[in-house]
């Protein structure tokens, strides 16, 4: 029996220990926010947090979750940093097709939980495992900076909506 926590709920399962965490989340818990992208931990669409660290759920066997805490996109907005990241994603109009966004948000939340004011280089390093086929990388970086600055209005970068309003006046 494998015992672990998902989004604050203690679980135990006797599913095959080699089952990828992604399929347990999607098929057994109906948590479909975590996406299947490549199946080889290369694209980041399946990113979840395990004990606060970003992990690719498509290649992580469920047996490795024993005694650990998993947080998915379904729960991340209930955390202070996750809520700031999600709000910034909307403010910066990051989403295009949206497929990679749950993984992007999870990686960004992990970064900002550890580093309240990351540099561009630190953002790039933290987000390097997350691929966006639509190429919204500049908006992702802007959203991370907006989320980082959200506690300080004076230093907060202008959101996309604020930049548009300023340009039209």
Per-10-residue mean pLDDT for the chain, 169 residues long?
98 97 98 95 96 98 98 97 97 94 97 97 96 95 97 47 50
pLDDT of residue 155: 39
Q: Are 69 and 91 in contact (CB under 8 A)?
A: no
pLDDT of residue 162: 54
pLDDT of residue 106: 98
Q: Which two tokens stand for residue 10?
A: 């203690």
Domains and CATH numbers, the chain: 2-75 (3.10.20.30), 77-151 (1.10.150.120)
Residue found by looking up tokens 């919204």 in the block = 136
């Amino acid at each position: 029996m494998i015992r672990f926590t998902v989004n604050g709920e203690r679980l135990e399962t006797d599913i095959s220990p080699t089952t990828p965490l992604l399929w347990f989340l999607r098929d057994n818990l109906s948590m479909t926010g975590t996406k299947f992208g490549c199946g080889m931990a290369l694209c980041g669409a399946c990113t979840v947090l395990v004990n606060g660290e970003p992990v690719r759920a498509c290649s992580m066997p469920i047996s490795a979750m024993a005694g650990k805490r998993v947080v998915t996109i379904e729960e991340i907005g209930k955390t202070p940093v996750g809520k700031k990241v999600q709000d910034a994603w909307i403010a910066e109009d990051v989403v295009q097709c949206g497929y990679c966004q749950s993984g992007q948000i999870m990686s960004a939340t992990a970064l900002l939980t550890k580093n309240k004011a990351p540099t561009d280089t630190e953002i790039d390093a933290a987000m390097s495992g997350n691929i966006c086929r639509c190429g919204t990388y500049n908006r992702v970086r802007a959203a991370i900076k907006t989320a980082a600055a959200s506690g300080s209005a004076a230093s907060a970068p202008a959101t996309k909506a604020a930049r548009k309003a300023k340009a039209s006046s």
